[in-house]
Amino acid sequence: MRKYYILIFFFFLINESSASVKNNILKKLNFIENISFNFEQNINDKIEKGNCVLQYPKKIFCKYDLSNKKILVSNGTSFVIKTISSYYIYPLKKTPLNLVLDKKFLLDEIRKSESYYSDKNIIAFKFFKDENEIILFFDKKTLNLKGWQTIDLYQNLNIVYLSSISINQKIEKKKFELPSSDLKNQ
């Protein structure tokens, strides 16, 4: 009989511990208004690097370390990918990025989540919404957002890792204005 009490005690201890980790991630994420970071993006084994500023809700500006001067900008409703020679504009709501940039959605999904993956470095939550699968990665020590994994518009696996993270910095609002489609003005 004593064995059962010990097993029950450990079961509650494990559940309490996982609930505590989840609650701490929720508190940290709720506090965040914006994040500046360096990134490494892997799309079907093609690696691109750069830096971004993410402003909740649904705004992001990324500058890639590429010779074609690639940038990605979302103003909350649309997003643009622009290079020296190309300009693509998409409705944000048609992309998985719409969900990754929606803090309310992330908080709600983490709150509802009954399980997550954890190892010595990361904690990961997996969500499904509107035919999108999203996996969020959090640093186990700092509880900072560490990256995400999605399937992009073209059905490519897209994994983004964040580093050199700064939280709640002062950001110019014009940073999230969509660039013009004029490719000559770069």
pLDDT digit string, tens, across residues 115-170: 788 888 999 999 888 888 899 999 999 999 999 999 877 788 999 999 999 999 99
**Residue 37 or 116, more confident:** 37
pTM for this entry: 0.84
**Residue 103 or 1, more confident:** 103
Q: What is the dihedral of CA 49, 66, 45, 29, to 10 degrees?
A: 30
In a domain, 154, yes or no: yes
In a domain, 177, yes or no: no
Q: How confident is the model at residue 184 (pLDDT cuts 50, 70, 90)?
A: low
**Residue 181 or 25, more confident:** 25
**Residue 6 or 170, more confident:** 170
Q: How far apart are CA 41 and CA 52, in angstroms?
A: 12
Q: What is the pLDDT of residue 99?
A: 93
In a domain, 43, yes or no: yes
Q: Is the pLDDT of residue 19 over 90?
A: no
Q: Residue 148: which H helix or E strand, with range?
A: strand 145-151
Q: How far apart are CA 156 and CA 43, in angstroms?
A: 6
Q: What is the pLDDT of residue 13?
A: 33
**Average confidence (pLDDT) over 55-77:** 96
**Both tokens of residue 32?**
């965040």
**Both tokens of residue 61?**
């500006």
In a domain, 7, yes or no: yes
In a domain, 182, yes or no: no
Using alpha carbons, list the distances in angstroms from residue 138 to 22, 113, 124, 141. Answer: 10, 14, 6, 9
Q: How far apart are CA 140 and CA 122, in angstroms?
A: 5
Given a contact cutoff of 8 angstroms between Cβ atoms, the answer to whether 85 and 183 are in contact is yes
In a domain, 63, yes or no: no
In a domain, 113, yes or no: yes
In a domain, 61, yes or no: no
How many distinct structural domains can be found in the chain? Answer: 1
Q: Residue 129's domain spans which residues?
A: 2-49+91-171
Q: What is the pLDDT of residue 18?
A: 58
Q: Residue 42: which H helix or E strand, with range?
A: strand 34-43
